[in-house]
Amino acid sequence: MGKLEAPARKLTYEEFLEWCDEDTWAEWVDGEVIVLTPASRRHQELADFLIQTVGIFVKVRDLGVMLSAPFQMKTGPDLPGREPDILFVAKENLEQLKQTYLDGPAALVIEIVSPQSRLRDRGEKFAEYELGGVKEYWLIDPDRKEADFYLLDERGRFRLREADPEGVYRSEVLPGFWLRVAWLFQEPLPPILEVLKQLGLV
């Protein structure tokens, strides 16, 4: 089991990485350790669905590496260490992938929003990921049945990208990958094999 209590004193990021074991869901912000609440069943099902569909696409196309929480991402020396729900590291940036954290921005970050994380995901993390240079940021809110997709523009600002009129979103950082937004809110979620067939992977 992971450690549930945050240290009483401030830690350097290196000390935080030593303190935080592989089962601990926590983030590092200006020396403070923030222990995250456990994910709900719906959150976990959606995370599993995305890591499988996007992950298989990434593996088949040999685009890089997909990782799921708990795994740290430190986008810059002066920015917090966060634990995105899912992140994608492009092949050309694999040297940034350390044993216990990503030393730099992921090309794609996916956060599955919960009522407890809504302000953090849309506020602090949005600003940090933008400043840190994350190229594509998906915010998926299963409670509100909303999915927002942001792309970093040439000025370093996140711009909202809409799904097409058929409700399909096409990723920029994963060439050829598309997602029917309605899939994310189906009960139950669509069978992985059917989605992979539609993506032309099986």
Q: Which residues pair with 123 in a beta bridge?
A: none
Distance CA 107, CA 135 (A): 5
- Among 103, 15, 25, 108, which residue's Cα sits nearest to residue 65? 108
Residue-level pLDDT at 37: 63
Find the CATH number of the domain harbouring 168: 3.90.1570.10
Q: Which residue has the tokens 């998926």?
A: 140
Mean pLDDT of 106-130: 91
pLDDT in tens, 127-178: 999 999 999 999 999 989 999 999 999 999 999 999 999 999 999 999 999 9
> What is the spatial distance between Cα 194 and Cα 190, in angstroms, rounded to a whole number?
7
**DSSP-based helix, strand, coil % in the chain, nearest 5:** 30, 25, 45
pLDDT for 23:
67
Number of domains in the chain: 1
Spatial strand order in the sheet of 26-29? 32-35, 26-29, 81-82, 72-74, 101-103
Is position 52 within any domain?
yes
Q: Give the SS3 label for residue 115.
A: coil
Q: Look up the domain containing 97 and give its range.
A: 40-198
Residue 28 lies in a domain: no
125 domain-assigned: yes
pLDDT computed for residue 68 by the predictor: 92
Does 13 fall in a domain? no
Asked if residue 14 is part of any domain, the answer here is no
Q: Does a structural domain hold residue 32? A: no
Q: What does the alpha-carbon distance between residue 108 and residue 150 come to, in Å, rounded to a whole number? A: 10
Longest dimension (CA), the chain: 51
Q: Is the pLDDT of residue 3 over 50?
A: no
Q: Is the pLDDT of residue 83 over 70?
A: yes
- β-partners of residue 103 are 74
Q: Coil, helix or strand for 82?
A: strand
Nearest to 169 by CA among 60, 39, 50: 50
Position 97 scores a pLDDT of: 96
What is the pLDDT at residue 13? 78
Q: What is the pLDDT of residue 151?
A: 98
| Mean pLDDT of the region 119-132 | 92
Mean pLDDT on 77-93: 93
Residue 122 pLDDT level (bands cut at 50, 70, 90): very high
Provide the pLDDT for residue 1.
39
The answer as to whether 3 is a domain residue is no
**Residues 63, 92: contact at Cβ < 8 Å?**
no
Gap between the Cα atoms of 28 and 108, Å rounded: 20
Highest mean pLDDT among 37-41, 56-60, 78-82, 115-119: 56-60
pLDDT in tens, 10-49: 878 777 778 777 666 676 777 787 776 666 788 889 999 9
pLDDT, residue 17, reads 77
Say if residue 193's pLDDT is above 70.
yes
Residue 135 lies in a domain: yes
Percentage of the chain modeled with pLDDT above 90: 68
Q: State the pLDDT at residue 82.
A: 92
- Tokens 């970050």 map to which residue? 109
